[in-house]
Amino acid sequence: MAKILLVLYPDPTTGYPPPYARDSLPVVTSYPNGQTLPTPSAIDFAPGELLGCVSGELGLRPWLEAEGHTLVVTSDKDGESSRFEQELSDADVVISQPFWPAYLSPERMAKAPKLKLAITAGIGSDHVDLATAIDRGVTVAEVTYSNSIGVAEHTVMQVLALVRDFIPQHQIVANGGWNIADAVHRSYDLEGMDVGVFAAGRIGRAVIERLSPFGVRLNYTDRHRLPLEVEERYGLTFHDDIRSLVRDVDVLTVHAPLTDETRGLLSDELLGTMRRGSYIVNPARGAIADRDAIVRAVENGQLAGYAGDVWFPQPAPADHPWRTMPHNGMTPHTSGSSLPSQARYAAGTREILESWFAGTPIRPEYLIVEGGRYSGTGAHSYASRPPAPRAAT
Ligand code: NAD
């Protein structure tokens, strides 16, 4: 029997369960590339419930306890005296969400001799030290595609919010004002702009598809080039690297995983090569950007705005400068945790656990690390390697 340590974000401040705005979820029957939605044998929750917080427990407790496993759920994850560190020593499985990541550093993994499986309830497993997972034979899996479309929608929302300068306009109304000149002197149309997408995987491609009808010129880079037919359909200009991409765009959206290659990429130097007054929306990972370089760029006008929902560390400290810098459209890490996404990543987490306990293969698309090497999606999106030829699909 296994001990599963599940780290989730805290409950709503007003108590659990919260009142819900709607009675059902939108109907989604498959992912855009034909990948099937999660296929656990059963679920013990009603889709639409808040599952990602401590009391939601990803709906896992009835099943896990019926199977004889031990489930520990906590949001107390940081520091040596945290419940997470205390429970880690005999945990077989750790489950965490990128929104409230339980950082599995090399030091922490050394304190977890029984740990064999780290599941990301969501997408993006950089909070696990993947090199150490490889060395220690820990399997790392995530619920690929569970929230990709939600993140793409959030990206489009933030691009429009920045370019049109929505947030100050709303504040004018909320404050009882009506000065149109104040409201529009930084407001532009997205139509006619050059947009650059850094990494055209599941999210980046969905952003391309959603922005295409806005009458923009679309550019992208990725180490896997998209099929020619896709490039032609969206009029995409491919760039060999991000340096070439950022020079030619007004809006940059960022969708690569956080790796040794992408950490700190959005630096003073790179930002200095962009057009004055560019916009960046980064819902990938906060550490892809140099925190203070972004602040300098929005303060001196090199960037007209910066938005996203990812920070480092998370939760962001109260004095993180991105909370208060000018022209920011930041949200807490929410884009991938809408109620429909929660239903999918909760079901996908159970699917991964069912496979693990049954000793059957975890779907390759869910795998990041397995058997001491990058595997599945990990081999495609995380492993360090030279640019590959055009993707097959
Ligand atoms: P994906 O695996 O489908 O796509 C990642 C793409 O990045 C791949 O096409 C890969 O080739 C490309 N890539 C990797 N390294 C690169 C590099 N150095 N240069 C150029 N391209 C590179 O993943 P996805 O579902 O599109 O998610 C992308 C990332 O978004 C995740 O890794 C995660 O960090 C982040 N994410 C954030 C949220 C959120 O809630 N904000 C939710 C899901 C994912």
pLDDT of residue 297: 99
> Quick one: pLDDT at residue 162?
99
- Cβ 363 under 6 angstroms from ligand 1: no
Summarize the confidence of residues 35-40 as an average pLDDT.
Answer: 97
Is the pLDDT at 253 greater than 70? The verdict is: yes
Q: Considering the chain, what percentage of its residues have pLDDT values greater than 70?
A: 98
pLDDT at 393 over 90: no
- Residue 284 CB–ligand 1 contact under 6 Å: yes
What is the overall mean pLDDT for the chain?
A: 97
What is the distance in A from the centroid of ligand 1 to the CA of 258?
8
The alpha carbon of 198 and the centre of ligand 1 are apart by a number of angstroms equal to 9
- Ligand 1 pocket, mutate which of 222, 243, 375 (most atoms under 8 A from CB): 222
| Ligand 1 contact, 224 CB (< 6 A) | yes
The Cβ-side half-sphere exposure at 324, using a 13 Å CA radius, reads: 5
Q: How far is the CA of 364 from the centre of ligand 1 (A)?
A: 16
Q: How far is the CA of 256 from the centre of ligand 1 (A)?
A: 4
Q: What is the mean pLDDT of residues 134-154?
A: 98
Q: Which residues pair with 217 in a beta bridge?
A: 194
- Of the listed ranges 15-24, 73-82, 357-366, 382-391, the least confidently predicted one is 382-391
Residue 148 Cα to ligand 1 middle (Å): 9
Q: Where in the chain is the domain with CATH 3.40.50.720?
A: 3-147+337-374, 148-323
**Position 22 confidence tier, pLDDT thresholds 50, 70, 90:** very high
381 lines ligand 1 (CB under 6 A): yes
- Closest ligand 1 atom to Cα of 99: 40
Determine the average pLDDT of the residues in 26-34.
95
Segment 227-237 shows an average pLDDT of: 98
Lowest-confidence region among 121-130, 287-296, 384-393: 384-393
Kindly report the protein residue whose alpha carbon is nearest to atom 8 of ligand 1.
201
Q: Residue 345 above 60 pLDDT?
A: yes
> Is the CB of 197 within 6 Å of ligand 1?
no
Band of pLDDT at residue 197, cut at 50, 70 and 90: very high
Give the residue numbers annotated as catalytic, written as ranges: 147, 285, 314, 333
Residue whose CA is closest, atom 39 of ligand 1? Answer: 336
Considering only the top CATH level, what class is 3-147+337-374?
alpha beta
Cβ of 158 less than 6 Å from ligand 1? no
Between helices 148-164 and 202-211, what is the axis angle to 10°? 50
pLDDT band at 2 (very low <50, low <70, confident <90, very high): very high
Residue 321 has pLDDT above 60, yes or no: yes
284 CA → ligand 1 middle, Å? 7
What DSSP assignment string belongs to 329-373?
EE--S-TT-SHHHHHHHHHHHHHHHHHHHHTPPPPGGGEEEETTE
Q: Is residue 341 in contact with ligand 1, taking CB distance under 6 Å?
A: no
Say yes or no to pLDDT of 77 above 90: yes
- Count Cβ atoms below 10 Å from residue 80 Cβ, excluding itself: 10
Distance 52 CA to ligand 1 centre (A): 21
Q: Which of 5-9, 13-17, 304-308, 382-386 has the lowest mean pLDDT?
A: 382-386
Q: Which class is 148-323 in CATH?
A: alpha beta
**Can you tell me which atom of ligand 1 is nearest the CA of 224?**
11
Q: Phi and psi for 233 in degrees, rounded to 5?
A: -60, -40
Query: Would the pLDDT of 333 be above 60?
Result: yes
Q: Is the CB of 127 under 6 A from ligand 1?
A: no
pTM above 0.95, yes or no: yes
Comparing 386 with 174, the larger pLDDT belongs to 174
- Res 111: pLDDT: 96
Buried b / exposed e along 57-71 (16+ C-beta atoms within 10 A):
bbbbbebbeeeebeb
What's the pLDDT band for 320 if we cut at 50, 70, 90?
A: very high
Q: Whose CA is nearest to atom 36 of ligand 1?
A: 284
* Pocket mutation for ligand 1, best pick of 123, 261, 309 (most atoms within 8 Å of C-beta): 123
Are 205 and 227 contacting, i.e. CB atoms less than 8 angstroms apart? no
147: pLDDT confidence band, cut at 50, 70 and 90?
A: very high
pLDDT band at 384 (very low <50, low <70, confident <90, very high): confident
CB 86 within 8 A of CB 320: no
In this model, does residue 264 exceed pLDDT 70?
yes
* Long-range own/partner contacts, residues 288-293 (CB < 8 A, 24 or more apart): 288/254, 288/256, 288/258, 288/262, 288/263, 288/264, 289/254, 289/264, 289/265, 290/264, 290/266, 291/320, 291/321, 291/322, 292/321, 293/266, 293/267, 293/268
Q: Which residues contact 91 (CB under 8 A, 6 or more apart)?
A: 3, 4, 5, 72, 112, 114, 115
- What pLDDT does 392 receive? 52
In the predicted structure, residue 52 carries a pLDDT above the cut 60: yes
Q: What is the pLDDT of residue 385?
A: 61
User: Tell me, what's the pLDDT at 228?
Assistant: 98
Mean pLDDT, residues 50-66 taken together: 98
- Which ligand 1 atom sits closest to the C-alpha of 154? 41
Residue nearest to atom 4 of ligand 1 (CA): 201
Would you state the pLDDT for residue 389? 53
